[in-house]
Amino acid sequence: MQAASPAASGAARTPPGPAQRDDEVFDVVNERDEVTGQATRGEVHARKLFHRAVHVLARGADGRVFLQKRSLAKDTSPGRWDSSCSGHVDAGEDYAAAAVRELREEIGAHIAGPEHLTPLFKLSPHAQNGWEFVSVYWIRHDGPFELNPAEIERGEWWTPGDVTRAIAAQPGDFSSTFRMAWERFAQVTSAK
């Protein structure tokens, strides 16, 4: 694994904003992922309402995957390894636009548009993923990345085999949504 700290991966962002805000507004969706209303982040999580999120896996030319270790200030899975970037879909936003935004906000990866993302699959809402429909994408990107220190403690490049072995040995070191996504990702990529 090759580590990348916020300072080592590019110019530090100052001042970092909060890791999340309870007043962010998300679309609330039904079991078919159709918008039924809006609610704040705090309300969505407290009432366990279905909502939307994205995860993006950045893969380098050498096949390694960049993972982030979430900041201890995060309200869910603090200090755990996660996808290259992940986040909620804002009210009125689509999945692909959210993925492009999260790449920029979390790891400083600027891409021209969603056409540069490869959609992989969507996870259904479940207690393990916080009642989120999660669209998972991958992008070919070698960095360097500029990590947002409010959201990310550090990042590292991992081989897919190292990720699989680490999850098997220490599942609690990884966010539960990432574990679900990685299992599906391994199935999808081994089938190609």
- What are residue 58's phi and psi, to 5 degrees? -90, 125
| Sequence ranges of the domains in the chain | 2-190
- What sign for the dihedral angle of Cα 69, 83, 77, 44? positive
User: Whole-angstrom Cα distance, residue 31 to residue 133?
Assistant: 9
User: Whole-angstrom Cα distance, residue 147 to residue 31?
Assistant: 34
pLDDT in tens, the chain (192 residues): 555 443 334 333 444 555 566 679 999 999 999 999 999 999 999 999 999 999 999 999 999 999 999 999 887 888 999 999 999 999 999 999 999 999 999 999 999 889 999 999 999 999 999 899 999 999 999 999 999 999 999 999 999 999 999 999 999 999 999 999 999 998 887 744
User: Whole-angstrom Cα distance, residue 76 to residue 134?
Assistant: 15
Question: Would you say domain 2-190 falls under CATH 3.40.50.450?
Answer: no
User: Whole-angstrom Cα distance, residue 57 to residue 137?
Assistant: 6
User: Whole-angstrom Cα distance, residue 53 to residue 47?
Assistant: 17
What share of the chain in percent tops pLDDT 70?
87
Residue 66's pLDDT is what?
98
Residue 17's pLDDT is what?
56
